[in-house]
Amino acid sequence: MTSKQKNLSEYTNKNVMDISGKKFAVIVSEWNEQITGSLYSGAFQTLLDYGAQKSNIFRTDVPGSFELPPGAQWAAQKKEIDAVICLGCVIQGETRHFEFISQAVAQGIMDTGLKYNKPVIFGVLTTDTLQQALDRAGGKHGNKGDEAAITAIKMLGILHP
């Protein structure tokens, strides 16, 4: 379902577990900081709303979205971290750079989750325009940060039923 039809901040509570003792690493791209800051705010608030302790949410900023996979790997290799949430924004430009970055980031995040057998969540916007990103970072289509946080919680619920 496209985000034109679905609000990214709406979800069901199926597979939601008690996360009061869980630790979350949130890796945030500094590039497109206006967008990624909003994504982080959404993810942070959603984690708190579902019972995460503020002291168990660890933010790490990386220079850009391309650096999200190594940042995620460094966090995921720590045994005390239960889930990793990656937040970034890649906006289409005039060159193929967008395609290379988007594919590498998606692959790297997926590979990290598989390698460490814990939720490593892709909360990266890949949009054609800045307006589309704003619409998905707390705008008319909700907040991808909310969606990324609830995805982490639900995946923990599946991993630890």
DSSP secondary structure letters along 41-77 = HHHHHHHHHTT--GGGEEEEEESSGGGHHHHHHHHHT
Per DSSP (E only), the strands in the chain are 24-29, 57-62, 83-91, 120-127, 137-139, 142-143
The mean pLDDT value for 114-118 works out to 97
Confidence of residue 74 (pLDDT cuts 50, 70, 90): very high
Residue 160 annotated among the catalytic residues of the structure: no
Please tell me which residue in 18, 34, 77, 97 is annotated as part of the active site: 97
The CATH number of the structural domain formed by 35-159 is 3.40.50.960
Say yes or no to pLDDT of 9 above 90.
no
The mean pLDDT value for 46-51 works out to 97
The mean pLDDT value for 103-130 works out to 96
pLDDT averaged over every residue in the chain: 92
**Which pTM does this prediction carry?**
0.92
Q: Which residue has the higher pLDDT, 99 or 112?
A: 112
- Residue 80 is predicted with a pLDDT of 97
